[in-house]
Structures are given as structure tokens and as C-alpha cells.
Chains A and B, each alone.
Chain A
């Protein structure tokens, strides 16, 4: 089998407009700057209109950019129910980090569906996985200065687990290279808040 020590797979998902692609590019650039080979898949187009958005990052000796079933080292979800939708990519060691604030689809009543209870989702994830980190992203983002820093809170949370191969410093420097300088201070604060929440849990 492939030498897993030299690779790391990041699956990021959520809803169109949450800053998912930008967050993923920041991780990818940081990986490049740390000397890793890295590939990323992103899907544009129809899915932007309030639909599901996902990106996949494969750090290591790969040629393909789609993560295989059961092979994500981390699932970072910007929306609680979306973390459940992608569990096919998980295995028992996968770190599951997600924003607890739901975005309820407007089509819910049309299809006669219900949105799952958040607490129940968290409980059942905990029953199945050892590394589950629910993050109150909205609250931490507002504390950092604006709801717009939500993606940086989640980025901070993602890099805090001890298997994550990239340093906080290189993530922050890549972040600065990709986002407007006007927001650097707020975004650093947001990364730190997300980071500390996972570190202290």
C-alpha cells in the first residue's frame, strides 16, 4: 500500500458562498511553500447557487486529485449536515471538524424533508468517530471582528489537530498572500480562535 506517512488528505465541504475554495487554496499554497507536492480539486459552476460545494486536497506523492473512499485524514465542514453527507470519504481515524451553525435549504418544505437535529448529529458522530470537533464558527467569527472571518476560524480549527502536517506559521503566511491586507489582523485572530478551540478541547 501507499506509504501513508508521507501523505495527507483534506476534504473540505459546505455551501456555495462560504469561502471554501479560498480556504483550500490557502492550505494548498502553504503545503507548496513547505516543500510538499500538493493537488487540489474544486468544482465551479452550477453548485455556486446555494448548492453543495466541496474541495479535495491531496498532499504527498499523488497524481490524482480526488480522495479515495475511506481515505480522508480530515473532513472540514463549513456546515453541520454537509459533514455527514461526505462520510464515505472517512475512516475510523478521520478527524471531523465542523461548524455547528446550520444553513437550512430553502427547498426543505418542497421535498417534505426535515433538517436533522444538531445535537443528535454531534452525538452520533461521537459514537462513531474518536476525533469529532464541533465548532461554533459563527460566534468565534463575530468575536474576531466579523462573520466574514468564519472560514478562517475553521481553517484554524483544522490545523490544530496534531496530525496536520503544516505549521500554523506557514498557514498564516499563505493566508496573508491570499486575502486583503485590510483584514489580516481580524483573520489572524480568527485562525487563532479556531486553533485554540480545538487545542483546548
Chain B
């Protein structure tokens, strides 16, 4: 697909879109004027795409310094009457939460959607927190899309709600929705946004500008005002609750209970004819199925998809209530749904958030039915689901029931036991499978972090600092991969920017040596206040800013240290060195980490320095497009004594053992020469041209 279709696409067009691409189209259809983010997977692609499309879409877009600032950009411009969009990974909302929780009080008159991309199973995150808790904490509505089409549609709907009630709306995706592709049918783009470019010819901006009308009672939460704001918020949420109880986004998928039970009982081995029973709506017939308990399912987000497929494929007679607009919790709707049931399965990722609401609701009305969810251990409390997990969880309950009522349900049980497709592989293959080599993510060939890690290790060795006496506090980025052998340069990690704050703590709490690592983008994001803290409070540690000239881990976004902004225009480049010096720190040195001797020497002096020292290891990421690579290197086999120190200490993907000889793969090698510098036998050189 051509990404420009996200702007140019017309009503009725269909594209095969990633959830994140669908979010961009949703923002464009809704007529968003201002968008801001800090990149974080699984939401990163939204920013990457907006960075390319913002101008054509009549939108202002920035990569903010961190999520809190992104939230403030979106909230304040929404207070000026514009539709605004901010999006971040789940932990990003922790950073933004201070401003977010009060933006719910002040309101967002222009409309503001906050997309929070949760990461169950932690494909690229440090935790799997469930951000639906924020909707309870902040008291704001949440939408939970299950697929890319819903991401787009709910973006539009989110702006309607947000603007109408002047309240931020959270759109909670999970990795499987953000990174799911599906067919998305387009709606019209709001007329307002099409005309934006012409509106602002005078101002020389390509996006629409708003106007902030002063109103301290609404926008300044001093206690006198915020007491009223909180009261208003409660009233708003009560009104929105009426919507959630009646919303099309909260609908029941009928799998026709009575018909299916009959079907299962009378099944006369006609295999393919049983799949069309979805929507025959005579579910009120009063057949005598005394022995079969009637169950239902309540599900949301990705978890709904698995529940639906399992119920559909296994021919289970369960109706499913899908909650897409799930907070304020649609209690009345849920009570109606469970009223005739003998039990309800709650299928949700990650925490039992809906389950607790459901238990509270049925408890309040004295409804006595079992709720099968996470609290009773029917479903796992951690990680993302899939069909296999949901099937196994549901079967635990059904099979138990069947054992209690052995009379009638043989067929049902048979259909549950159908694992005929399973293939058993022989011992030989099983053996290969069980001994496959690991393939962990690694630092790329030519990555300068490898050189820095080598340098600091060598410096500590030369100063006789034992590994136990050297604490590495690291941060969030590619360089966290330093946790693996052979580097082992990550001993402690909490969050974005924590490496320096943690170093302050280790400095106060121990007499050990401390070296911290933080990327350039992460330094701007959260590293500056703790650096000031370290200098002011007279701590002693070494800060390493691994300045690889990009935000590498999330796909190469610019940051304030790069002379380019989010709309790819030229922008002021902020100097990390000047910031470090401005803190009063007297040991600030920039190095090229690929120069090993200089790197080792600088670390030796820094480790002996009595105070906070800052080393800026500056070398561009090898993944930056257009970076010139040097000629590949080669092992001089006549000089190589096969000591394999290069392999054991550098773990460079380009160096491996082939037929018992150390070899360099010239397709992978970037010619960084770190191996050349560290080889005592001088057995590595530059490959001569063929």
C-alpha cells in the first residue's frame, strides 16, 4: 500500500492496514489538527507515518521530548478549540499521567483522544501494566478496539464523545491490535480538515489554528475551582454512562443457545451444515434443556477475538457481549445480559478489571451466578491470550460441569476433545527441535554501544575494579541489550531516565563504583533532572550518554539533539554537552567510542573522578539510512591463533566460527574496526578490494 492513501483515500476505499495505520486514518477522518507523541512500541508507527503525512493531512505533528509534554501539547491546543491527538506506549502514560489526570478536570473542548498502546506479553516493554486502570483513576471514558477497522472507527467516535462532553477519551489498544493487519473500509474525511491548508495561508502554517478563550474557572485548577471541576466530571461521567449502556459498540453476538443445544443433541453426523446458525433470532423458544447450563461470555479488545473464534469454531452455545465502550462501566447492559445465565465467562487481557465491575454489579443486585474469570483462576492473570488459552480455560469449567451431569452431553464433550489434527513428530526431530540454538536480539554489527561496553570493561580491569564493585545502571533503549553476556552491562533498570536517578541512589547507598548508560533521546526524555540532582547533591558516578544520533530502538525517530523535527523540517539542535556543563558538572567529555584507546582512557579518568562525570559517546547508529559504511574487515588466517577472544568479548553478529575457523561475514561487517583494535595478534585487517 502507498501510505499516501491514508490521506487521499476516499469513502468506501478498502486497504489492508496495520492497527497503527488505521489510527492515522482515523485521526485524518476526524479532522485532527495537532498531534504529539514520544515514540514507544507498540505505538511507534503512528508517529513515523504522521511524520511523513502531517503536512498533506493539514496537521501539526511533533515528537515531543517526552510523553508528559506530548500530553500538554495536546491538552492545551484542545483547550484552544482544536481536535488533538496524543499517543504513547502504556508506560508512556505513567510519564504523562500527572498532566493527564488534571486535563480530565479542565476538559478538552476541542476534543482529545489519548491512544494508549498496552503490551501484554511484553514484546518490547519492561512491564505489562493494564492501562484500563487509568480510566478508573482519572475518571474518563475508554474505548477498546479489537481490530484495525475498529481502531479507525473508534478514533472518530472518540472525538465525538470527547468534544461533546469536553473530556479526554482513552483509546486502549494492545500489541495484537496495534500490530494486527486487517481490511479497513474508509469513511469520508471531515470537510473542516480538507480546507485547513487554505485557511492558514496568511499564517504560513499548513494546519488550522484555534483560539484560547480565557476562563480560569474552567482551566485553572486551584482548589476553589477544582472542587467544582470534580463535581462536573462526576456528572459528565454519569451522562456518558447512559451512552455506554446503549452504545452500538457494546453489542451481543448471538450464538443461539437453544438451537445449538438441540443441534448438538440431535447431531446426525452431517459435518459441514452446522455453521450457519449465528443469526437465526428465535432465541426465546422454551425448549426443555434442564440439564444444560446456559453460559455467556463478556469480552473486550483482543480477548474478544479469541473468545469469538473459540465459541464459533467449537460450536459453543454461548452468546457473547462485546464491550468496546467499556467505561463508564455499562452496568445495566451487563445486568440484562447475565440475568438469564447460569454463569458468565469474563475474557479480558491483562488484569481482572471488567471482572471486578461485574462482580460488584451482580453482588449489588444479589444475582447468584458464578463469574469465571481471573479471580477464580479460570483464566491466567498474566500475558496476552490466544485461542488455545481461551479454549483451555473455558473447557476447564465445561468439562467439570459435564462430569457432574453425565447424562446428555456426550456430543458436546466430543467436540471439545477434538484434537485429531495434532501431529506427533518423531524423536529425532523432537531432539533437533529441543536443541535449536537461541536467537536472542543482539546489538547490530557495527553498533557503537559494543565499543563503549568494551571500553568501560577494559578501563575497570586496568584500574583493578572487580565486577562486584562496579554497578551498571542502564536505561530504556537498544543498549539495554547489554544485559546479555558477554557485555553484562545492565545491573539495574526501572524506566525512561532512571539510569541517572538510580545512580544517585547507588551513590548514596553504597561505596561501589557506578556507571550509568542512557541514550541521547532518553537523556532528553528523562535524564536531565536526575543529572542536576546528582551534581547538586554531590553524588559520585559516571554518566554515559550513548549518543547514536537517533531514537534507535523504536525505528529511528529524531530527538532534540538532531537538527530535524517531527515534520522533517530543519530545527535547532540542542547540545547534550552544553546541557551537561550547565548543570555545573566539571567532567564532561565527548568521545568517539570506536576509538578504543581513547575510550578506555576516558573511562579510567572518569571512574577516578570524585563527583559526577559525563561521557558523551557519540557515533551514529548503523541503521540510519544513508550512513556510509566502511570496507569490510577480514581475518588474516595466517596470524589468527584461534583464541576467539573477539568472539567471546564482542559477540559481533559479523564474526562467527565457520568450519572451525574464525570468519568475518563481509555482508554484515560495517568495517567499524573495534575488533581490529582489540585483537592482540593483529590478525584482523581491512579486506582488499576484489
Contacts and interface: CB of A to CB of B under 8 A. Distances in A.
A114 interface: yes
Q: Which 10 pairs across A and B sit closest by C-beta, in order of nearness?
A: A45-B124, A64-B305, A51-B441, A49-B441, A40-B181, A2-B313, A45-B41, A63-B305, A124-B429, A106-B653
A39 B386 CA distance: 14
B36 to A, nearest CB: 21
6 contacts: A29-B1, A39-B182, A44-B555, A81-B436, A91-B422, A105-B438
Interface stretch (A68-76, A151-159, A162-170, A187-195): A68-76
Given A49-B478, A49-B481, A121-B432, A41 B179 contact: yes
Contacts, number: 202
A198 B16 CA distance: 28
A183 interface: no
Given A65-B181, A81-B437, 16 more contacts: A2-B275, A15-B439, A29-B16, A38-B16, A38-B183, A40-B182, A43-B123, A43-B179, A44-B41, A45-B42, A45-B553, A63-B308, A90-B423, A108-B656, A113-B437, A121-B432
Contact of A46 (B183, B306, B441): B441
B181, B309, B391 pick with most chain A CB within 10 angstroms:
B181
Contacts of A29: 1, 16
Contact of B436 (A25, A41, A43, A116): A116
A70 B554 CA distance: 33
B444 to A, nearest CB: 6
Contact of A84 (B175, B313, B433): B433
Given A81-B436, A116-B436, A28 B181 contact: yes
B444 A49 contact: yes
Interface in A71-115: 71, 81-82, 84-85, 87, 90-92, 94, 104-111, 113-115
Nearest to A37: B183
A7 B582 CA distance: 63
Interface of B: 1-2, 14, 16, 18, 41-42, 44-45, 123-124, 146-147, 175-176, 179-183, 272, 275, 302, 304-306, 308-309, 312-315, 386-388, 391, 415, 418-419, 421-423, 425-426, 428-429, 432-433, 435-444, 478, 481, 484-486, 553-555, 644, 647-648, 651-658
A28 B1 CA distance: 11
A116 B305 contact: no
A103 B89 CA distance: 32
Given A116-B432, A124-B426, A39 B147 contact: yes
A47 B655 contact: no
Given A38-B182, A94-B423, A110-B486, A68 B388 contact: yes
A196 interface: no
Contacts of A81: 436-437
Contacts of A40: 16, 180-182
A3 interface: yes
A145 interface: no
A12 to B, nearest CB: 13
A64 B302 contact: yes
A62 B1 contact: no
Contacts of A104: 437, 656, 658
- Interface band, chain A: 35 or more
A62 B308 CA distance: 8
A50 B651 contact: no
B418 to A, nearest CB: 6
A41 B146 contact: no
A116 B429 CA distance: 11
Nearest to A129: B423
A1 B315 contact: yes
B439 A51 contact: yes
Contacts of B429: 84, 87, 124-125, 127-128
Contacts of B440: 51, 105, 107
B16 A70 contact: no
Given A44-B44, A70-B422, A107-B651, A124 B123 contact: no
B175 A43 contact: yes
Contacts of A15: 439
A128 B432 CA distance: 13
B423 A128 contact: yes
Contacts of A71: 421
B680 to A, nearest CB: 19
A92 B420 CA distance: 10
A52 B436 CA distance: 12
Given A2-B275, A178-B1, A70 B421 contact: yes
Contacts of B124: 44-47
A113 B313 contact: no
Contacts of A129: 423
A136 interface: no
Contacts of A5: 272
B183 A1 contact: no
Contact of B387 (A38, A66, A178): A66
A177 interface: yes
A173 interface: no
B656 A106 contact: yes
B45, B440, B444 pick with most chain A CB within 10 angstroms:
B440
A152 B309 CA distance: 32
